[in-house]
Structure 1
């Protein structure tokens, strides 16, 4: 949770200090350069989660969604439009900074305005029939900002999809092997044998991680 609050606090700064050219900066790229698979994600046995698995449609394959949300509100405690100094009052205390010259909407902000930031993090793990699929990675990034003349606001979203192929299953030892986009094969121990029985060699484990931050300034009444 500390990481989440830090991210949101940084976003509160970003909405008033980042350049606003009024353009949609949505981008999409796939696949992204290969990265080392984090340990927590690599050991992604759909049965290992404490959250009950769900069936995806008519399939009996495991499907798990883990979601975390957070919202923080800050008040503009002080602002000097000439020097561009801004102070925000958060629950944890005050933060002060100088907004850069590239900020076009700072004149819209007044003392007492609220800066609201919302954060969502979601991890989805789905085991599907891997026919026609290969291990791989893809990244989609979207970023939008308020247009010139509006109250400052921004939204950014990053979604990463990773596909792991099931290379081997050993029900007797309760283990399975996954191959990642780099061709690396690693063995893991299943937490629940019953769910391991639902998997087949050649299946694909699709892991989707999404992080979204939305920040906006609300006019004080």
Structure 2
């Protein structure tokens, strides 16, 4: 039932220009998506939650797709910057197993710290308005993972590295997504660090014997 999803929590909001209003609009969209699912995010629901009229929301974004694209841009940037900033400037490839475990530790630690952002990114899988964005986001992650996997396999002395890298990167990225989903579901039983050790060692063992 959709009635009341965007119900305002305060009296009618004071007037703000579009530039100052946009962050509030995106925050409201994220709240609705996390609480009720991304399908329930609409211009009307956001206006209701913020205590403004729909034209105020349309002054910030010209439609639902533009709004959700801006929201996904913001959440992806937050997650990506968190992951990249946590890696050392000069990774130690002398211990490729630890490097892969560290990669999953950074990923899962960022997921735990920004769980709402991950929920938004995952939720767009089923939203037709953003289907093309998911492919581009995964391509970016794949590109980042390729260098890590190639260096780790080379350091481990793996044979036929260049032929194996694309396949193993696909598995690496898919495993990363699965690990984040598992953390979201079983986070009461697993810390990010413990789950990173389990998944990272599993991936290194499989890659090392490939």
Q: TM-score, normalised by structure 2?
A: 0.22
Q: Highest Rg: 1 or 2?
A: 1
The higher-RCO structure (CA 8 Å, 6+ apart) is 1
Q: TM-score, normalised by structure 1?
A: 0.21
